[in-house]
Chains A and B, each alone.
Chain A
Amino acid sequence: MKSILILIFFFSVNCLSANTIVVGKDQPIHALKRAVELAKNGDTILLKQGSYAEGNIVIGKSITLIGIGMPVLDGLQKNEILTITGHNVTIKGIRFLNAGYSSMNDYAALKIVDATNIRIEQNIIEKASFAIHIANSTFSTIRNNKIVGTNKSEHSSGNGIHLWKCGNMKIEGNSIQGHRDGIYFEFVTHSTISKNVSEKNIRYGLHFMFSNDDAYLGNTFRNNGAGVAVMYTRNVRMENNLFENNWGPSAYGILLKDISDSHIKNNRFVENTVAIHMEGSSRIMIEKNTFKANGWAFKVQASCDDNTFYKNNFFGNSFDIATNGDKSLNTFNNNYWDKYEAYDINRDGIGDKPYHPVSMYAMIVEQNPTTIMLMNSFMIKLLDKAEKAIPSLTPENLVDAAPMMKPNKL
Chain B
Amino acid sequence: MTRLIRYVLYDILRNKVVITYALFLFVVSFSLFQLEENESKAILSLLNIVLIVVPLIGMIFTTIHYYNSYEFIELMLSQPLSRKRILLSEFTGVAVSLLCAFAFGVGVPVLIFSFNDTGFALLIAGGALTLIFTSIAFLASVKSRDKARGIGFTLLLWFYFALIYDGLVLLVLFSFSDYPMEKFTLLLSALNPIDLARISIMLKMDVSALMGYTGALYKNFFGTGAGMLFTGSIMLLWIILPLWWAVTAFNKKDM
**Chain A residues within 8 Å of B, Cβ to Cβ:** 247-249, 251, 271-274, 293-296, 315-316, 318-319, 338, 364, 367-382
Contact = CB atoms under 8 A, between A and B. Distances in A.
A374 B212 contact: no
Contact of A295 (B48, B51, B188, B210): B210
Contacts of A368: 173-174, 177
Contact of B208 (A295, A364, A374, A378): A295
A369 B177 CA distance: 9
B208 A272 contact: yes
Given A293-B40, A295-B206, A368-B174, A373 B212 contact: no
Nearest to A275: B208
24 contacts: A247-B211, A248-B212, A249-B213, A273-B208, A274-B212, A293-B40, A294-B208, A295-B208, A295-B209, A315-B38, A318-B208, A338-B38, A369-B212, A370-B181, A371-B173, A372-B209, A372-B215, A373-B188, A373-B199, A376-B202, A377-B166, A377-B198, A378-B163, A382-B163
Contacts of A249: 211-213, 216
A294 B208 CA distance: 6
Nearest to B208: A295
A372 B217 CA distance: 11
A376 B41 contact: no
Contacts of A370: 173, 177, 181-182, 185, 213-214
The residue in B52, B188, B212 that gathers the most chain A C-beta atoms within 10 A of its C-beta is B212
A370 B208 CA distance: 16
B218 interface: yes
A376 B198 contact: yes
Contacts, number: 108
B211 A316 contact: no
B216 to A, nearest CB: 6
B214 A273 contact: no
Contacts of B44: 376
Contact of A369 (B40, B163, B214): B214
A376 B47 contact: yes
A375 B202 contact: yes
Contacts of B51: 377-378
Closest 6 CB pairs of A and B: A295-B209, A318-B209, A379-B166, A369-B213, A295-B208, A247-B211
Given A248-B216, A293-B40, A369-B212, A318 B206 contact: yes
A378 B214 CA distance: 20
A5 to B, nearest CB: 61
B189 interface: yes
Interface string B179-222: 00110010011000011001100100111111111111010000
Contacts of A251: 211
Interface in B45-89: 47-48, 51-52
Contacts of A372: 209-210, 212-215
Interface range, B side: 35 or more
A390 B22 CA distance: 37
Nearest to B216: A249
B170 A316 contact: no
A273 B212 contact: yes
Nearest to B192: A377
A319 B209 contact: yes
B169 interface: yes
Interface string B12-54: 0000000000000000000000000010110010011001100
A373 B217 CA distance: 10
B167 interface: yes
A319 B215 CA distance: 14
Contacts of A376: 44, 47-48, 198, 202, 205-206
A251 B215 CA distance: 13
B162 interface: yes
Contacts of A373: 169, 185, 188-189, 195, 199, 214, 218
Contacts of A272: 208
Nearest to B199: A373
Contacts of A377: 51, 166, 194-195, 198
B208 A293 contact: yes
Contacts of B182: 370
Contacts of A315: 38, 40
Given A251-B211, A273-B211, A370-B185, A375 B173 contact: no
B30 to A, nearest CB: 21
Contact of A316 (B38, B177, B214, B215): B38
A296 B209 CA distance: 6
B48 A271 contact: no
Given A369-B214, A375-B209, 6 more contacts: A271-B207, A293-B208, A295-B208, A370-B214, A378-B163, A378-B166
B64 to A, nearest CB: 23
B182 to A, nearest CB: 6
A295 B198 contact: no
A84 to B, nearest CB: 41
A316 B167 CA distance: 26
A407 B52 CA distance: 31
B165 to A, nearest CB: 8
Contacts of A378: 48, 51-52, 162-163, 166
A373 B173 CA distance: 10
Nearest to B162: A378
Contact of B41 (A338, A375, A382): A338
A374 B214 CA distance: 11
A374 B169 contact: yes
A273 B169 CA distance: 24
A248 B162 contact: no
